[in-house]
Structure 1
Amino acid sequence: MKTKKITLTLLPLLLFTACSNVLSMLGLADDEDDYTTAYALAALWLSQSSSGCTYNVQSTTTTTTSGNYAVVDTAQTTCYGTNSGTLACADSTTAAQDGFYTRNAPSYTVNSDGVTVSDNNTALMWTKSPDTNGDGSVNSSDKLTQLAAYNYCDSLTKGGFSDWRLPSVKEQYSLMNFGQGRDPSSCTNCTSTLLANKTFIDDSKFTVGFGDTSSGERLIDGQYATTNVYAGKIFDTDWGVFGVNHVDGRIKGYECSSTKTFFVMCVRGNTNYGLNNFTDNSNGTVTDSATSLVWQKADDGNSYTFPGAINYCNSLSLGGQSDWRVPNAKELQSIVDYSRAPDYSANQGPAINSIFTTSSFTNEEGITDYPWYWSSTTHVTCGDSNCTTDDVKYGVYLTFGRALGYYTSAIQDVHGAGAQRSNDKDDVSSTAGASTANVGGGTFYYWGPQGDILRDGSNTANRGKMYVRCVRN
């Protein structure tokens, strides 16, 4: 689908134009086999564009029959204990942790123009700095709404190229680095200087955008804009767009508004990046020919702690193979289908292709929902006020169901299906600052500004279910 620049001056007219005309403008009438779905997407575009977000031009097509792309390694080469310390990756009890495997190690080249960076794995080229206003510094004045970010990249000429685009969430997440990244959320003395070489992106190749504390932002407000508008609603009522945070190491949905702004990196090349090519092997496995990964078709319906998930996949025999493991965070994110959501009537269900079988369960709100899945990646956080030590008790997970939070005394989908968050690997009741609540579906733990609901999969009362879907090369 050809990218179309969207201008704010057109919005009043579009709001009074029939959706059929919008279909023609966006090229959806020709590109969508299901006209009903296309019509719904056009209506979605109208409502989102008026609130700071653009129609999601990249999420309507999620599969390919010919393209491929490399899932870049997380760069995590250390294996960690459940609650503290490091472990020998050769130990059989940790052999399926992220740090044990290296596949497509990150490799970047700063090009001779000095303003672009090439990813040697993915064939994507990136703008080096989010300095959108060109004043030589990166701060809050460089941030744009998602709609403005879309148009900025669409109009950009840099490094001798003019075919730049705003990245999808999968493209932006390809730069995530869990090897050097340290989440500074609890680091009271941290500054951008103290966090050199501790960001969730290779800051030897890219300029990092930190939250501008002089403008009232938090240091961790380092969210980058993507094209992926959430198919459902965040906070249950608001249109949202996914942002990738290279300061605290997360993907979350944010409200589409004229006030929410993001850092911006533009990308070009490999337009097949993030598109899957699934085949059901009729033996309980699914092959993604785009990434050369083979997946467990159906989760086993059981709940696991982080170490329990590692042990389960490490001992799994399926499809005539026994070399299964828990996927790392970036591998797991590669099978998220951002065109789907539990509450999106046009494409309802878990945020994964329907070729997979996904469990359902009753969530903390007392309604049917879909699981969160463990990755094998540890979300390392700053262990003290100056980030000189590591806290390693948190595991990275992806939400294929609602990313729930207890916010304003109600359970809501605060970050969207397809978010990437983290919590304690085996005991969320020990999370510092966690609280409990009960809205009728049972007591649960929650924590953080949006009241992220915490689950550890321990099958212990009040501590939530966590699932796993195994992978092999």
Structure 2
Amino acid sequence: MIKIIMSNCLILTTLLLSTVQAAQPLIATIIGSGSPIYNDQRASASVLISNGETNILVDMGNGTQANLHKLDVPISSLSSLLFTHHHLDHNEEFVPLMIGLLMSNHDFNIMGPVNTRNFTEANLNVYQEDISYRLGRTNRSLDERKKAIHLSELKGGEQFKIGAINVSTLAVPHTIATIAYRFDYEGQSVVVTGDLTYSNTLPEFAKNADYMIIDSGGMVMSNTQPKKRKGNQNKGNQNTDNQNKAKQHIKRAHLDLNDSSLLAAQADVKHLVYTHFLKGEIDTKESLKQIRKNYQGPVIFGEDLMLVNQADKPISSNITYPVVDTGQVAFYSNNQVINEPSVDQAFFGQDAQYLINQPSYTDNHDGTIQDNVTGLQWQQDLTEKLTYQEALQKVKQFRLGGYSDWRIANIKELYSLIQFTGAVKGQKAITPFIDTNYFKQPLGDTNAGEREIDAQVWSSTEYVAKTMNNDETIFGVNFVDGRIKGYPKYHPRTHQANKMYFRFVRGNPAYGKNNFIDNGDGTVTDHATGLTWQKQDSQQEMNWQQALDYSEQLQLGGHDDWRLPNAKELQSILDYTRSPDTTNSAAIDPIFATSVIKDESGEKDYPYFWSSTTHLDGPVPESGAAYVAFGKALGKLHGTVMDVHGAGAQRSDPKTGKAMSRGPQGDMIRVYNYVRSVRGGVEQEKSTTSSHHVFTQKVKKNKTIKQGGKGPGTPNRFINRLDKNADNRVSVSEFHGNRSQFNYLDMNKDGYISEQEAPTGPLKK
């Protein structure tokens, strides 16, 4: 029999999963942001509240399962199913979710307003044969699993815990009984209102919440005009107005923008998040005009799969694979540091001239680091050196920060951490190619006969072909010398499994997955990254300076804002499932056209491609630039030219000079490489919402962009990036950094960083 907890008074008992947990972030993810009307861009209403291993699903409209799958959230991981009310667009996928939880091995909650019990038991009766059949395959019965259901009907006013999360409820006005929920944990709070009209009690219930996720009724859509409100608009007597408002709106089903923004202002919530949108395009500018009459805080227009806590970061249903900038801010010629070149000067168009998703991290102080750009969470330290098989076993039992869903990072995830502010001199380490303010990075043990650069980190990506002497190969990133190479899985002489470091990762399972669309005009857009690419490469080789010029002069697809991609952008379009030896193709999606060359051994192969990123190495560190090998990464050993590091490697070539072979693996130095140009991804003028978007158009070429740069007519990039309330200055709460950095920049000590005080280069740690 189902365990029923009736809620006539406050529920003070702790529900399931109430074991003490270490402090974890309280995360809200919009699973579905749509309405009852079918919309292929938005699922129906659903929000996921997460804390450690506790996952609470609030509402479960059409499309919920598909979007949970996209986020790699299995049904079996859900702790509770909560209803705001029983309209179809809020409970349509309840049955498969309930059945999925019955097929799991743990207890779970089903909670909601009146009729939640009838709704649950009716569906159990209808589907009992189906459920019993499924359970029978694991030698379990439906009667046994019914005991795992903790069923509660709520009237509003209840307080209880799910896991370590404190949950409060409030009855709100709608066409049927409706419950709003507040989730609190360790000073963090999220309110989910469900559908409602104006509520006098909601402001106190939602007081000071970090995020209030609210019904988007009255939202202005494109090609429509905002509806005029009827009745008295005078807010002078607030109490009288509130009473009149409650009566006035009793027959309405949803809020309008004046009501929702007024509720947010009265509650003093830190972020106002709209969801439950009708089909069509939101007119954010006109909508904000209405909202700003009452509420001045950050406004987020919800999207499916949006991590609400990071909605001001470029990760959403559209941009699932934001490419983190290289961090390079200095400018280089062929052999030295130079001043920033203007559009008509040599070496214009290099990496440092474009600000694109600057690296941003948060130390969670529990051994984990949050990447605020990618949505990935990282192990702060490296593992001990492990064989690949040992790492596969270790990660299965790995627990850190209260999480158990860690994985070995694939090569694109791992490479997202590289920063080309690093430097190396041959085998001698100078500055690591990773932010050591957040991540621990050892050097090779020279006392054990290793080189300082022997501190490579392996990924989960195995080369589909073989390197050197038919060696099985795993791609890794060397954060000491700034390269991707393929490393033998086994020692070529002893045949013993080699050991390398690993850094485990969790979160954003879509990271690294491309979504290419052929635009039919010689360009290909990757909707996962927001970048648009030249479909056909340059079809000729050139040195680095010529490569920069080629891209800056390119006119294609009706655009003239092309540029040479930085190393991380270029690596983003690699396809590590392909190689010349296994697919008879370059390591790139066949949607692209790639030139065929004869390599140094006279065999058919595919080019290396230049990036705009200088790679600091050697006696003249400024003289080399990073390239990515879309064909074999060749070397010459014992007089034989062979694939030594694998298609998909990132190495560097001299910007000018002569071809040769050099280094321990006899790397083939080409000097003249090919080009595939890119456009888009550059941050433009900031929206007045706190939702960040990556635009596919860069600033006109008479404007140069760098961190804090001020080209002619170009607003300050630092202010644009951090100014959430659009007052043209940055407050302490908006600042991303420590207080000492803020105080250093705030020269007049007025509590704000103005455009005149904003930095013109990278902040000092």
Q: Please give the range of the TM-score, normalised by the shorter of the 2 chains.
A: 0.7 to 0.9
Q: Give distance in 1, aligned partners of 2:475 and 2:442.
A: 17
Determine the structure 2 residue equivalent to 1:86: 338
8 Å Cα contact 1:87-1:94 kept in structure 2? no
2:585 aligned to which of 342, 349, 357: 349
Q: Give distance in 2, aligned partners of 1:285 and 1:394.
A: 29
Determine if the alignment matches structure 1 residue 409 to structure 2 residue 661. Answer: no
Paired residues, number: 361
Determine if the alignment matches structure 1 residue 184 to structure 2 residue 425. Answer: yes
Q: Secondary structure at the match of 1:232?
A: coil
1:470 aligned to which of 677, 690, 696: 677
Question: For each residue in 1:228-279, what CA deviation from the matched residue of structure 2 results, as whole angstroms up to 9, or x when unmatched?
Answer: 1001111151111101000000000011113421111000000010000000
Q: Letter of the 1:108 partner, please give it.
A: Y
Compare CA radii of gyration and give the structure with the larger one.
2
Determine the structure 2 residue equivalent to 1:456: 671
Q: How does 1:182-331 map to 2 (within 5 A)?
A: 182-187=423-428, 195=430, 198-235=431-468, 237-257=470-490, 258-331=496-569
Q: Give distance in 2, aligned partners of 1:262 and 1:252.
A: 13
Alignment RMSD (CA, Å): 1.8
- What is the Cα deviation at residue 150 of structure 1? 2.5
8 Å Cα contact 1:394-1:423 kept in structure 2? yes
8 Å Cα contact 1:398-1:418 kept in structure 2? yes
Determine the structure 2 residue equivalent to 1:434: none
- What is the Cα deviation at residue 85 of structure 1? 2.7
Determine the structure 2 residue equivalent to 1:173: 415
Question: For each residue in 1:14-54, what CA deviation from the matched residue of structure 2 results, as whole angstroms up to 9, or x when unmatched?
Answer: xxxxxxxxxxxxxxxxxxxxxxxxxxxxxxxxxxxxxxxxx
Q: Give distance in 2, aligned partners of 1:262 and 1:159.
A: 23
Q: Letter of the 2:670 partner, please give it.
A: R
8 Å Cα contact 1:231-1:339 kept in structure 2? yes
- What is the Cα deviation at residue 330 of structure 1? 0.1
- What is the Cα deviation at residue 171 of structure 1? 0.4
Question: For each residue in 1:427-458, what CA deviation from the matched residue of structure 2 results, as whole angstroms up to 9, or x when unmatched?
Answer: 1x3xxxxxxxxxxxxxx51010000000011x
- What is the Cα deviation at residue 286 of structure 1? 0.2
Q: How does 1:57-96 map to 2 (within 5 A)?
A: 68-92=320-344, 93-96=346-349
Q: Give distance in 2, aligned partners of 1:147 and 1:449.
A: 27
- What is the Cα deviation at residue 425 of structure 1? 0.6
Q: Give distance in 2, aligned partners of 1:231 and 1:410.
A: 22
8 Å Cα contact 1:67-1:272 kept in structure 2? no
Determine the structure 2 residue equivalent to 1:369: 605
- What is the Cα deviation at residue 174 of structure 1? 0.1
Q: Give distance in 2, aligned partners of 1:338 and 1:371.
A: 16
Moved more, 93-102 or 158-167: 93-102
Determine the structure 1 residue equivalent to 2:361: 108
8 Å Cα contact 2:427-2:451 kept in structure 1? no
Q: Give distance in 2, aligned partners of 1:178 and 1:71.
A: 14
8 Å Cα contact 2:319-2:529 kept in structure 1? no
8 Å Cα contact 1:352-1:400 kept in structure 2? yes
Q: Which runs of 5+ in 1 are unaligned?
A: 3-64, 133-141, 384-389, 430-443, 458-465
Q: Give distance in 2, aligned partners of 1:244 and 1:446.
A: 22
8 Å Cα contact 1:67-1:275 kept in structure 2? no
8 Å Cα contact 1:371-1:399 kept in structure 2? yes
Q: Secondary structure at the match of 2:420?
A: coil
Q: Give distance in 1, aligned partners of 2:484 and 2:678.
A: 22
Q: Letter of the 2:336 partner, please give it.
A: S
1:335 aligned to which of 570, 573, 593: 573
Q: Letter of the 1:218 partner, please give it.
A: R
Q: Give distance in 2, aligned partners of 1:333 and 1:143.
A: 26
Q: Give distance in 1, aligned partners of 2:618 and 2:665.
A: 20
Structure with higher RCO (Cα < 8 A, 6+ apart):
1
Q: Secondary structure at the match of 2:396?
A: helix
8 Å Cα contact 1:200-1:248 kept in structure 2? yes
Q: Give distance in 1, aligned partners of 2:369 and 2:597.
A: 44
Distance 1:66 1:84, change over 3 A: closer
- What is the Cα deviation at residue 96 of structure 1? 1.0
Determine the structure 1 residue equivalent to 2:648: 418
Q: Secondary structure at the match of 1:206?
A: coil
Q: Give distance in 1, aligned partners of 2:550 and 2:350.
A: 12
1:447 aligned to which of 662, 681, 700: 662
Q: Give distance in 2, aligned partners of 1:151 and 1:118.
A: 24
Question: For each residue in 1:154-181, what CA deviation from the matched residue of structure 2 results, as whole angstroms up to 9, or x when unmatched?
Answer: 32001100000000000000000002x0
Q: Give distance in 2, aligned partners of 1:456 and 1:425.
A: 6
- What is the Cα deviation at residue 148 of structure 1? 1.6
Question: For each residue in 1:384-404, what CA deviation from the matched residue of structure 2 results, as whole angstroms up to 9, or x when unmatched?
Answer: xxxxxx620001000000000
8 Å Cα contact 2:433-2:479 kept in structure 1? yes
8 Å Cα contact 1:109-1:120 kept in structure 2? yes
- What is the Cα deviation at residue 209 of structure 1? 2.3
Q: Give distance in 1, aligned partners of 2:342 and 2:387.
A: 46
